[in-house]
């Protein structure tokens, strides 16, 4: 299957298209995508250059995209939406738009919803977020810094394809010591009966639902402030609303190459940790991942490294042009492929012919 237009660029596993994703998705066959991992424009009070819809219009705006998402996802597929919260203009109170969105997406179709299930909420903690709105956080000091994006993991069925063994975290030193010295079964004060199975080495710890994308996870604690050039010194002491992932790297390969080529980097880049976690959790090598609001196309770059086939749609030519820099021959990998990742080819197993790279 192919889109009836040429990709802006393509790689071994993927293709990026310039255009409105509503129009491009119309050419994708039903139930053909394994994962949609996306970060659409948020309904922010302060408008961004890449476009934002007002909070009171957001749900209706998103429904057109969601209808396509539901149609093109496989029955076992997942829709993962990174979406930040917002404030009501002029007041230190929060908008409910992102909660209204997930309710609308998960309401049954017979009741006017889209029919998705909420598989789980995930959270992206970004310690480098600026303390906004400044009026309520740094001036009047009535609120703490908003540093968390909610990530809605939705599915068409109650049991989408997922395996948390693919996202295990390394054991802590305490757990390693427990495995070494053994564990005596006992009942915890909470009443949970911890059996001797707790002491078995299963290859790693099941991760929590906070996506940790900090650059120095061995040196920083969740909630510790991160120094960035755009932040004033007095803002560093603002407490955050998580009792982790920075996207402010100023000298990574993408940023350096944008500067060299005279491109303006996308201002709201995803950290690699977010698509890496979701792609590993919800897909296997060879599955198809779609990013309908590609931006700098970090999702495509991660999918390429993890040998997932991918599609990226972006409406702004400046952003899609600069995103191509992530796939240059000398560009470093943004993630390390798992040690047990088996190399796959782009060969069609059904007819032994190469799959066309337009939409695979």
Catalytic residue among 7, 40, 127, 133: 40
Calpha distance 95→44 (Å, rounded):
10
Catalytic residue among 34, 82, 146, 287: 82
Calpha distance 166→160 (Å, rounded):
15
Catalytic residue among 7, 34, 39, 212: 39
Is 156 in contact with 116 (CB distance < 8 Å)? yes
Nearest Cα residue to 52 out of 41, 37, 64:
41
Known catalytic membership, residue 82: yes
Write out the DSSP string of 252-309: SHHHHHHHHHTPPPPSSPPPTHHHHHHHHHH--TT-EEEESS-TT-HHHHHHHHTT-E
- Provide the phi-psi class of 25: left if phi over 0, else alpha when psi is between -120 and 50, else beta: alpha
Q: Which strands sit side by side in the sheet containing 309-314, from one edge to the other?
A: 9-10, 14-18, 309-314, 288-291, 33-38, 73-84, 148-155, 117-125, 210-211
Pairing of strands 73-84, 148-155: antiparallel
Contacts of 87 (CB under 8 A, 6+ apart): 45, 93, 94, 95, 133, 136
Return the active site residues: 39-40, 82
């Amino acid at each position: 299957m192919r889109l009836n237009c040429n990709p802006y660029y393509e790689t071994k596993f993927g293709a990026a298209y310039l255009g409105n994703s509503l129009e491009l998705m119309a050419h994708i066959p039903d139930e053909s995508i394994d994962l949609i991992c996306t970060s659409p424009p948020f309904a922010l009070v302060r408008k961004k250059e890449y476009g934002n819809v007002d909070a009171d219009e957001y749900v209706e705006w998103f429904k057109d995209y969601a209808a396509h998402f539901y149609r093109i996802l496989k029955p076992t597929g997942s829709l993962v939406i990174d979406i930040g919260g917002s404030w009501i203009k002029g007041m230190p109170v929060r908008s409910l738009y992102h909660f209204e969105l997930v309710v609308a997406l998960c309401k049954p179709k017979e009741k006017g919803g889209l029919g998705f299930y909420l598989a789980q909420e995930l959270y992206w903690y970004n310690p480098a977020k600026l303390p906004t709105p400044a009026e309520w956080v740094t001036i009047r000091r009535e609120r703490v810094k908003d540093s968390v994006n909610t990530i809605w993991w939705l599915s068409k069925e109650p049991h989408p394809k997922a395996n948390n063994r693919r996202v295990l975290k390394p054991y802590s030193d305490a757990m390693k010591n427990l495995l070494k010295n053994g564990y005596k079964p006992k009942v915890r004060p909470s009443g949970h009966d911890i059996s001797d199975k707790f002491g078995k080495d299963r290859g790693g710890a099941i991760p929590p639902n906070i996506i940790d994308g900090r650059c120095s996870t061995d040196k920083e604690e969740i909630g510790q402030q991160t120094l960035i050039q755009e932040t004033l010194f007095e803002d560093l002491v603002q407490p955050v609303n998580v009792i982790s992932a920075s996207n402010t790297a100023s000298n990574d390969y993408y940023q350096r190459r944008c500067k060299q080529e005279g491109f303006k980097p996308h201002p709201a880049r995803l950290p690699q940790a977010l698509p890496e976690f979701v792609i590993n959790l919800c897909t296997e090598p060879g599955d198809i991942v779609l990013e309908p609001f590609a931006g700098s196309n970090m999702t495509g770059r991660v999918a390429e490294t993890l040998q997932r086939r991918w599609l990226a749609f972006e409406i702004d030519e400046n952003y899609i042009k600069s995103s191509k820099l992530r796939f240059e021959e000398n560009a470093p990998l943004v993630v390390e492929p798992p040690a047990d990742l088996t190399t796959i080819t782009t060969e069609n197993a059904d007819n032994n012919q190469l799959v066309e790279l337009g939409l695979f």
